[in-house]
Structure 1
Amino acid sequence: MEFCDECGSMMKAGEGEDHWVCDSCGYEKGRDPEAEEAMETTQGQEVSEIIDTSDVEDKGLPTTTVHCPECGNDRAYWYMQQIRSADESETRFFVCTECEHKWREDDH
């Protein structure tokens, strides 16, 4: 993905795909295939979003009344986390106060 140096709009590959073209202002610039090959997609963001739920009681998480699908306990710690794009709502996670089973609100 490339952004226009002139107006900041997203650019598209031009004919022959050897250059970028801005649909908004018409600015063009060449593509650098070596730089594009050097780009690497990693799972780093997903790993950094993992919340360690051991010792959840020490983290000061709030509790609520909810049925644990594993042990049947009726209390769980809960927290909300943004796991999708910013324009979608957060997901609520529960951690059982007895068995520490973790589940999402929508895992019915």
Structure 2
Amino acid sequence: MQFCDECGSMMKTEGDKWVCGSCGHETIRDEAKEAAMVTTQGQEQSEIIDVSDAEDTGLPTTNAQCPSCDNDRAYWYMQQIRSADESETRFFVCTECEHKWREDDH
């Protein structure tokens, strides 16, 4: 992929030139430079790994009493669920039974 030196737009190939679709600027194609470019056809397919059942959710944990199973550890995160001038709501997810509850700032 080549970008225009004049306006920064993406350029297209037309024969032996790169041509900017926005401003019309043209440059001569350089085969050595193009060989080093990575294309979507040249990229390898990556393996998708399912981590939905993984124990680590990536969320921080804290001491919090689960109202469902009395476990004392929970993952937590903050989310804005009301208008922007209201404080965020803190959500907890039990590390044992995965029960979810919230704690509003008052």
Give the number of the structure whose alpha-carbon radius of gyration is greater. Answer: 2
Range into which the TM-score falls when normalised by the shorter chain = 0.3 to 0.5
More helix by share: 1
Report the TM-score, using the length of structure 2 for normalisation.
0.46
Report the TM-score, using the length of structure 1 for normalisation.
0.45
